[in-house]
Chains A and B, each alone.
Chain A
Amino acid sequence: MKEQKITQNPQKLHWLVRPKTIKGLWIGGILLLALVTGLGTTVHPHTKFGIEGTVTFYSWYGFVTCIGMVLFAKFIVGKTLGRKDTYYDN
């Protein structure tokens, strides 16, 4: 259980965290998003409530609800109920 601290040499970053790789991951990710949205348009699922059968529903619904949850958590709950993590120690 020995803890070791190593001073990171910027020239010897792990390949996964090099700026070039990160840029590639962003491009790959955006292409993947476009691909799954495109694939979603090729199938016609059974619908019951109407809107869930519309094109790209799952893409925008997933994105918008997640943005909503983060903003609600950060600016409503966090602002009102957030405290320092030593709150109960005092």
Chain B
Amino acid sequence: MTIDTLLMSPALILILGAFLLPVFKGSLRKVLTLTIPLVTLVAIWQVGDGVQVTASFLDYELELVEGNNLSRLFATVFAIMAFAGGLFALNRNNVTEMVAAFVYAGSAIGVALAGDLVTVFIYWEIMAVASTIIVWSARTEASAKAAMRYAIIHLFGGVVLMVGVIGYAQETGSIDFVRMIPNSFATWAILVGFLINTGAPPLSAWLPDAYPEGSWSGTVFLSAFTTKTAVYVLLVGFAGTEILIWLGLYMIFYGIIYALLENDMRRILAYSIINQVGFMLVAAGIGTEMAINGAAAHAFTHIIYKALLLMSAGSVMYMTNGKRKCTDLGGLFQSMPFTALAGIIGALAISSVPWTSGFISKSMTSQAAFDEGLAFTWFALVAASAGVFLHAGIKFPWFVFFQKDSGLRPKDPPWNMKAAMAFFSILCIWIGVQPEYLYAILPFPTDYEPYTQAHVYEMLQLLLYSGLAFFVLLKLMKRTLTITLDVDWVYRKLLFNAARKATIVITKFNRSFGSAKSKLVSKVITLATEHHNPRGVLARTTPAGEMAFWMIVVLCAYLIIYLFV
């Protein structure tokens, strides 16, 4: 690979640039942290349509960089996220986390620009490793354990994907990453490999298990890339696959229900990621141009407002020595007005309030379901829109910044953290007010108009009455020191206990068997000693006369038998 091809691969700029960070210190490192993502962003905008960079691998030609509207849109928001995340984490004194974060973001861009399945797989696996390091970088006992569980799930997903890619290459003789139909073992394996990274059932629990254990800055990066690259590959490979609609609907309501019961503010937001990715899966499953535009737009806006919410939560953690539980927080708007405002803007955007980014993106998915006459899906999406306001739009800011007065008076965080929140807050509102700029970079041309009088009134009714339900049931919403069991109970408790019990049984068996074995061996030794000791029957020395006597006896017996028998 030449320097020219290297420069034409935006993913490699970010990945290799990440390794420059430990080389420098102080201001220079900070400048690089902000510059590398911007250079990557410029490189992404230079990627034209079609295959741009290739490389040989075995008998195949890898398409390392292939451009189109969809891939550029995802790559663009990944680079913007790397920049804002870097700005937010500028005062975090952990270069390992920052290197991992840029490698993570770079490989997500690599997936978005990949033209073949092998390239997708390679970047996919780099993402798994880099994101595991980010979880682990919090350097707590809980984060180390969560990182291990996270790695196991993602390496398992990677193996499933690899099996699918190999099978697909054998079946078709091609590794081109194009639209597929899940009608063979290989294509199903690829679909399952992709779905594991979306947080789809039954393995949804890896996300709320691992992401909240990252550091105050690490979780901001974690929220953006894995699930959204998974949405991207589903849009390319499996758009229009009906099962995605049902999986997406499950994820939407799973996220709402679990978030409603959650006490940890970052786990609330983690469940909310699954909820939002559910909307994107539904859109991918519908598969029309409007739906794919909706999923792509929603991924773009979601990365920004979810990162903003997690920046707000991260700032609270940073300024309160790591407090995360709603039961410990409350009343922080008084001393952290900037952070509270940023959190509220993120909450309004995720709730699709008119004039925020979520309104102009989520509406497209609902419209696609409406246009296709999918009544059940449409009614579920409308109810889910109200549910999003309930579990994230109100719950997060209410329990963190308002509710009771916790007595805590932390200040707003340092300037770089505020600047990152300000940048994303402005984007949330700007995209909501001026949607035409986002619509212009969507995969398909659109003349969708979100701001009709009817649609604005409908959404305001839906959200305000959802808010009424929240305050009417406020006593039921009061947080307790509880968690809600999920499928991860199987491998964190059931299998763990089963393995522990099996170990105890095997150890006991080994002990009893070992003691029986010792007894048997000692009996054999005793017996052998008895008969083979110098005085034993079988080993003692006998006189020659006695031997001759017994020989005569034997010979006589033989003679008698020979003569008379």
Contacts and interface: CB of A to CB of B under 8 A. Distances in A.
Interface of A: 1-8, 14, 16-17, 29, 32-33, 36-37, 39-40, 42-46, 48-49, 52, 56, 58-63, 65-67, 69-74, 77-78, 81-85, 87-88
Which of B379, B455, B457 is most buried by chain A, counting CB atoms within 10 A of its CB? B457
Contacts of B263: 85
Interface in B430-475: 452-455, 457-470, 472-473
A3 B405 CA distance: 14
Contacts of B492: 88
Contacts of B382: 52, 58, 61
Interface in B249-264: 253, 256-258, 260-261, 263-264
A44 B264 CA distance: 42
Interface of B: 253, 256-258, 260-261, 263-264, 318-321, 331, 333-334, 370, 373, 375, 378-379, 382-383, 386-387, 390, 402, 405, 407-410, 452-455, 457-470, 472-473, 476-477, 481-486, 492-493
A43 B455 CA distance: 9
Contact of A66 (B264, B390, B410, B460): B390
Given A66-B465, A69-B256, A39 B457 contact: yes
Nearest to B382: A61
A21 to B, nearest CB: 12
B466 A66 contact: yes
Contacts of A1: 318-321, 410
B260 A3 contact: no
Contact of A65 (B383, B464, B483): B383
A33 B468 contact: yes
Q: Which 10 A-B pairs have the closest CB atoms?
A: A66-B469, A45-B454, A58-B461, A65-B383, A62-B465, A62-B462, A63-B465, A62-B386, A81-B485, A43-B454
Given A43-B457, A65-B383, A70-B390, A3 B408 contact: yes
Contacts of A33: 464-465, 468
Nearest to A87: B483
Contacts of B452: 45
Nearest to A72: B257
B482 A69 contact: no
Nearest to B264: A85
Given A3-B320, A58-B461, A65-B383, A17 B405 contact: yes
A88 B493 contact: yes
16 contacts: A1-B410, A4-B410, A8-B405, A8-B407, A33-B464, A48-B375, A58-B459, A67-B469, A69-B387, A70-B260, A70-B477, A73-B257, A73-B258, A82-B261, A85-B264, A87-B485
A38 to B, nearest CB: 9
Given A69-B390, A70-B473, A63 B466 contact: yes
A1 B460 CA distance: 39
A69 B389 CA distance: 12
Contact of A40 (B257, B334, B461): B461
Nearest to A70: B473
A40 B452 CA distance: 12
A8 B331 CA distance: 11
Contacts of A70: 260, 390, 469, 473, 476-477
Contacts of A62: 383, 386, 461-466, 469
A39 B459 CA distance: 12
A65 to B, nearest CB: 4
Contacts of B256: 69, 73
Contacts of A37: 461
Contact of A85 (B253, B258, B455, B483): B483
A81 B258 CA distance: 10
B482 A82 contact: yes
Contacts of A48: 370, 373, 375
Contacts of A36: 457, 460-461, 464
Contacts of B477: 70
Contacts of A61: 382-383, 386, 462
Contacts of A87: 483, 485
A8 B405 CA distance: 8
A37 to B, nearest CB: 6
A3 B485 contact: no
B458 A63 contact: no
A45 B493 CA distance: 52
A81 B493 CA distance: 14
Which of A2, A44, A56, A58 is most buried by chain B, counting CB atoms within 10 A of its CB? A58
A74 B476 contact: yes
B261 A85 contact: no
Given A69-B390, A74-B261, A59 B465 contact: yes
Contact of B458 (A40, A65, A78): A40
Nearest to A50: B375
B462 A3 contact: no
Given A62-B386, A70-B390, A73-B260, A85 B405 contact: no
